Amino acid sequence: AELTYVRGAPAVQLRAPDGAQATVLLLGAQVVSWIPAAGQEQLYFSDRAHLEEGKPVRGGVPVIFPQFDQLGPLPKHGFARDRRWKLVRAEVGGDDALAVLHLGDDEATRRLWPHRFDAELTVVVGGARLDIELAVEHPGPADARSYSFTAALHTYLRVREVEEASVEGLGGLRFRDKVRGVEDWEHRHRLTVDQEVDRIYFDTPKPIVLHDGRRRVKVENQGFKDAVIWNPWVEKTASFDDMAPTDFRRMLCIEAACIEEPVTLRPGEHWWGRQTLTAYS
Ligand code: TA6
């Protein structure tokens, strides 16, 4: 592991002995590149992304904490994604390379959200796998109030052409559709995308598989009970200043999330959730 810069922004570069690589920005602890051993780039990272503190970075795996979307009084998607995290360690262990980053509360976060917290993001890369784990601890003191949060790993997977890709593993699940403002049950075995999609699928017990030509990416979530599928399509993308107008064709978000049942922590308690991505063909 080595410290590096991505378009001028400080980052840590992880290289496993087998050649698998991942790049993690200190800004947001955001993974912006993942190349499995003997593989290709698996993540979408916008050429027009802003890379400044205080602004979200378009692409990779934004860490959403302590609020998903606008489901509460905080800024959209909380504050963890546009702050600078601290690198705790980066090392090669066995067949994997690993980095741990930390974000704690400070005056600015307490002004938005009056709680103490220690958030840790662990990224492990090796072989065909990328593991991203978010752990949050309520450090106390013992007489502090408990608090609740929602969270997500807002993974932007790269695809060759989104209309030719499909997502398997959501059939039979209940979802909330933000575009139509309704709740429904998924009857399709394979989801395809040919318009704006913004859905939260609840209670997703099985792996979700992205099909992109012969390429597959398996998404397995632990601790995160919900999954979000998002593609902004033409109009929404046109409203973004950090994404090229046709780039919605190059990406599909499959997010690990904890939304319907927020996590509640009492002093001294902790929670963790993990997303494991495996690329194969
Ligand atoms: O995860 C889906 C979502 O909440 C969408 O509603 C969409 O707005 C997206 O996240 C991206 O949000 P952002 O603030 O990064 O533009």
Residue 205: the pLDDT is: 87
Mark 104-138 as b/e (b = at least 16 C-beta within 10 Å).
ebeeebeeebebbbebbbbbbbbbbbbbbbbbbbb
**Interface predicted TM-score (ipTM) of this complex, two decimals:** 0.97
**From the CB of 255, is ligand 1 less than 6 Å away?**
yes
Read off the pLDDT of residues 212-235 as tens digits, 9 standing for 90 and up: 999 999 999 999 999 999 999 999
Distance CA 35, CA 22 (A): 6
Share of the chain above pLDDT 90, in %: 99
Read off the pLDDT of residues 39-91 as tens digits, 9 standing for 90 and up: 999 999 999 999 999 999 999 999 999 999 999 999 999 999 999 999 999 99
Q: Indicate the burial class of 37 (C-beta count within 10 angstroms; 0-12, 13-18, 19 or more).
A: middle
**From the CB of 236, is ligand 1 less than 6 Å away?**
no
pTM: 0.97
Query: Ligand 1 centre and the CA of 162: distance in Å?
Result: 17
Residue 38: the pLDDT is: 87
Q: Do 253 and 157 touch, CB atoms closer than 8 A?
A: yes
End-to-end CA distance of the chain: 28
**From the CB of 228, is ligand 1 less than 6 Å away?**
yes
Query: Ligand 1 centre and the CA of 69: distance in Å?
Result: 6
Measured from the Cβ of residue 40, the count of other Cβ atoms closer than 10 Å reads 10
**From the CB of 230, is ligand 1 less than 6 Å away?**
yes
**From the CB of 56, is ligand 1 less than 6 Å away?**
yes
**DSSP string across 144-189:** SPPEEEEEEE--EEE-S-GGG-EEES-TT-EEEETTTTEEEE---S
Distance CA 69, CA 56 (A): 13
- Residue 169: domain span: 2-280
**From the CB of 78, is ligand 1 less than 6 Å away?**
no
**From the CB of 154, is ligand 1 less than 6 Å away?**
yes
Measured from the Cβ of residue 54, the count of other Cβ atoms closer than 10 Å reads 10
Structural domains counted in the chain:
1
Query: 5 phi and psi, to 5 degrees?
Result: -125, 140
Check residues 2 and 150 and name the one with the higher pLDDT. 150
Q: Whose CA is nearest to atom 4 of ligand 1?
A: 69
Distance CA 77, CA 193 (A): 23
Look up residue 226 and give its two tokens.
Answer: 């919900």
Distance CA 192, CA 174 (A): 17
Question: What CATH number is attached to the domain comprising 48?
Answer: 2.70.98.10
Query: Ligand 1 centre and the CA of 231: distance in Å?
Result: 9
Confidence band for 29, pLDDT divided at 50, 70 and 90: very high
Distance CA 273, CA 222 (A): 6
Measured from the Cβ of residue 92, the count of other Cβ atoms closer than 10 Å reads 14
Query: Ligand 1 centre and the CA of 77: distance in Å?
Result: 8
**From the CB of 273, is ligand 1 less than 6 Å away?**
no
CA-wise closest residue to 183 among 158, 200, 168: 200
